[in-house]
Amino acid sequence: MESIIAELKQELVVTCKMYENRCQELEEKARESKAHLVEKTKEVEFLLADSKKKIKELEENSKLKFKNWENKGLKLKVLADAADNYHKVLAENQRLYNEVQELKGNIRVYCRIRPFLPGQNQKSTTIDYIGESGELLIVNPSKQGKDGHRMFKFNKVFDQAASQAEIFSDIQPLIRSVLDGYNVCIFAYGQTGSGKTYTMSGPITASMEDWGVNYRALNDLFGISENRRNSFFYEVGVQMVEIYNEQVRDLLVDDGPQKRYPLCMSSTQPNGLAVPDASVHPVKSTSDVLQLMHVGQTNRAVGSTALNERSSRSHSILTVHVRGVDLKTGSTSRGCLHLIDLAGSERVERSEATGDRLKEAQHINKSLSALGDVIFALAQKNTHVPYRNSKLTQVLQSSLGGQAKTLMFVQINPDVESYSETISTLKFAERVSGVELGAARSNKDGRDVKDLLEQVAFLKDTVARKDEEIEQLQMVIDLRTRSPMLNNDRNAMLIHSSSPGIPCLVGTARLGPQLSSARLVISTDKAPSEPDNSFQFSENHCMANGGDKDQKLQADAYLVGFRDVDLEDKLSEISDSVISVGTETDGSVSSSTEFGVFPESSKPVQMSKGKM
């Protein structure tokens, strides 16, 4: 038992030593850990202080940057306001410029650049810069530096990405003025294959998104007329012809390509094409227009060349006649819209035209050359403008030489191979933009004007009837003066009236070889005691002397006169108050009617004051 206790004591001693050693080790590690923690704490404190310092610096930097950003924001706002004001000023300047152009009657010129076709090198282009204010910089690929650049300026330049809707939105106000009675002409000019037909009509199977100016214009006119239906009533008619080899053909008839009409220009038809036999089709909806346009495009002459698979071989003219009636005032307005797709100018060596294509190209280039001569004459303000040199210039005469609003689309190709044609086209467009036509005028007829015109027509009819009566009375007088009875008594004047105050019936007499006839309508309430200031014709005289036909005929031939001074006074009063009629519209005299021709000199007629 004691041995066991001894072993246990020994184990206890060993265990105590182990624990003591273990405690010493732990204490040593604790001291090391404490020292390490102190160091770490110092490091953390240092880092914390450094972090606080950095935070403070960051806060200061943040405040500084915030101030900088605030200043930049203010500057940016100033720049944004300046940019906004710039665009406003630019738009205002453009509006004022358009107003000045409208007052001067300048032809607006819009340039549109055709996109590259599949297979063309898009990196090789003649277009160097397009400005917001209509600037266009063309580069010559064969020249370097400034010598190879040419700047043009138009009303607006549309790049290759411009859509049909963007094109139409800019010309929409111009087209809408047709409803207000203005004449508007829009035509596309450029080399073959530059996109003229695409701009004016769109593709052959066009959706609404690809509609050209022609379809959009008529659709817009119908929309506006529908919105104004409570105030205005509009009638719209469409006429479509083409000029093919100097022959004018109707495109809206079944046998259009075979049916030719001579172009008869007339100054009395300022609101439309002077092709009397060409059909005018009334349209009431866009569907009617689509149907007619399809017929017209089908009948139009097209052909294939090396430059254009579907080259227009004729000048197409779509004319829209609009007549509006103001339901409140009854006044009418007449407007006319010419939408012209010119055939493209082409160089025969490039288009490789032969046979019929060559003949067509010659006629096209000749008519476009005649158009250039007209533009040159207008730009130089020549007294003679050669409109009659071509059917095309005769058609455009009312738009180029009249008081219409005119716009030209100049179409160009961006490829390098077309550089010479592009420069030639842009030079022509630049010359067109300088032509002043005079301010456009609205074709409106007010109710007062209509009434005056009706009065003028009535007075003209009255004049004609009275002239016939005068001639008959002159014949009677001539017959009676040849008779012996009148030869013995032709210087006597008969004054007789059974009823004083009755209006006088006036005739005319040939008093001498230089005395012309005069028609008088005079009423008098004077008593018979004032014979010098009145004259009367009396049937009672002949009735009192038997009433036979011969005596009555003789009495009809007599005139009862007075002194020439009184006669001229009477006639002057009548001429001022009754005989002269005039109407004036838009500041110009529309019609005037004057009649009454008097002798230069005549001897006074002596009148017996005794009883007859």
Map out the domains of the chain as residue ranges. 15-103, 105-435, 447-593
Binding-site residues for ATP sit at: 190-197
Return the pLDDT at 89: 80
User: What is the rounded CA–CA span in Å between residue 245 and residue 304?
Assistant: 16
Condensed to tens digits (0 to 9), the pLDDT of residues 2-20 reads 888 888 888 888 888 889 8
User: What is the rounded CA–CA span in Å between residue 27 and residue 8?
Assistant: 28
**Closest C-alpha to 357, from 369, 343, 377:** 343
Condensed to tens digits (0 to 9), the pLDDT of residues 489-520 reads 544 444 444 444 434 334 433 334 333 333 33
User: What is the rounded CA–CA span in Å between residue 277 and residue 288?
Assistant: 21
Return the pLDDT at 535: 36
User: Among the CATH numbers 3.40.850.10, 3.30.420.40, 3.40.640.10, 3.40.50.1820, which is that of 105-435?
Assistant: 3.40.850.10
Binding-site residues sit at: 190-197
Place of tokens 């055709």: 114
What would the two tokens of residue 384 be? 């003679």
8 Å CB contact between 401 and 147: no
Sign of CA dihedral 40, 44, 50, 51: positive
User: What is the rounded CA–CA span in Å between residue 185 and residue 174?
Assistant: 9
Task: Provide Rg for the chain, Cα atoms.
Answer: 48
User: What is the rounded CA–CA span in Å between residue 339 and residue 183?
Assistant: 11
The whole-model pTM stands at 0.58
**Closest C-alpha to 472, from 511, 513, 519:** 519
User: What is the rounded CA–CA span in Å between residue 464 and residue 302?
Assistant: 56
Return the pLDDT at 554: 42
Residues of the chain below pLDDT 50: 256, 265, 267-268, 270-272, 306-310, 486, 490-612
Sign of CA dihedral 480, 484, 485, 487: positive
E-assigned strand segments in 226-292: 232-244, 247-250, 260-261, 281-283
8 Å CB contact between 516 and 599: yes
- The 3-class secondary structure across 44-104, one letter per residue, is HHHHHHHHHHHHHHHHHHHHHHHHHHHHHHHHHHHHHHHHHHHHHHHHHHHHHHHHHHHHH
Q: Return the number of other C-beta atoms located less than 10 Å from residue 397's C-beta.
A: 18
Return the pLDDT at 496: 44
User: What is the rounded CA–CA span in Å between residue 50 and residue 426?
Assistant: 72
Return the pLDDT at 503: 40
Q: What is the dihedral of CA 340, 341, 347, 349, to 10 degrees?
A: -150
Distance from chain centroid for Cα 306: 36
User: What is the rounded CA–CA span in Å between residue 64 and residue 424?
Assistant: 60
Q: What is the dihedral of CA 265, 267, 269, 273, to 10 degrees?
A: 30
